Amino acid sequence: MPRRVLPRIRRARPAPFRAGRLVLPSRRRVPWRLIRTHADTSRRGQALVEFAAVLLPVLLLIVGIVQFGLLFGANVTLTNAAREAARAGTIYIYDNTHTKAWNDAERCGDVVQAARQSLGFLSTSTPHFTTTLTGGGACPTPSGDGQTNGDLTITYCDHVTTPDGECPDGTDPDTTCIPDTREGCLVRVTLTYRSDIIVPFIGGLIGTDVNGRFLQNATATMVVN
């Protein structure tokens, strides 16, 4: 009789056991390291995009705060300089051996020097603040009651009709300062300063001159002793 061949039965391979857990066999296994790396890369890319989207507005906000802080500080300093300059004009001692115009030029020189010394960290040279003095430390001799020296203006009046009124008021002759010594009259000093703008779009919001600088004015009025 022919010999019968029985089919071989293949035993199932026992499932491996690792660290207290059963690992089922699979036909294709993706390493966890590759899955974790791809997920981490996606998260990092998303975080980078979000950071870039938030960083620009934050930087603009910070720079804007710095810019307005500089402008505010310049305004405070300029206001103080105008007061010191006006005070220097009130304590000038009139020299009776010279003319009224000569004394006004000397008084103006004291006003300019007081303004420069009070500007602190602000620039006292062109193009930010421009004034000129002669070799003797005086302003050029004025031709009228008032005088403009670059970014500094000095006017005299007997009184003002309103706190912000003109000194003197061209429509009211009574506001003209009569004494040559200016004693008892008001001296008004106006300073103009040009601040640099470091953020261009802020300059477009607040307005600048033709050179891209922001003009600030400060005025002080005091009684001449």
Distances from the Cα of 194 to the Cα of 31, 127, 151, 173, 214, angstroms: 67, 7, 10, 34, 5
Does any domain span residue 14?
no
160 pLDDT exceeds 90?
yes
Does any domain span residue 38?
no
**What range defines the domain where residue 219 resides?**
44-223
Does any domain span residue 213?
yes
- Residue in the block written with tokens 């294709």: 28
Does any domain span residue 2?
no
pLDDT of residue 7: 58
Indicate yes or no: pTM above 0.85: no
Contact indicator for 121, 76 with CB cutoff of 8 Å: no
16 pLDDT exceeds 60?
no
Q: Residue 94: which of 176, 219, 184, 175 has the closest Cα? A: 184
108 pLDDT exceeds 80?
yes
pLDDT of residue 18: 54
Contact indicator for 129, 93 with CB cutoff of 8 Å: no
15 pLDDT exceeds 60?
no
Does any domain span residue 204?
yes
Count the domains in the chain: 1
Please state the rounded mean pLDDT for residues 162-184.
Answer: 92
Does any domain span residue 34?
no
Give the tens place of pLDDT for each residue, 30-56.
555 545 555 556 666 677 778 788 888
What H or E segment, with its residue span, contains residue 118? helix 100-118
What H or E segment, with its residue span, contains residue 104? helix 100-118
What H or E segment, with its residue span, contains residue 58? helix 32-90
Q: How far apart are CA 12 and CA 25, in angstroms?
A: 11
Does any domain span residue 218?
yes
pLDDT of residue 8: 60
Share of the chain residues as helix, strand and coil, in percent rounded to the nearest 5: 40, 15, 45
At 201, the pLDDT band (50, 70, 90 cuts) reads: confident
Does any domain span residue 27?
no
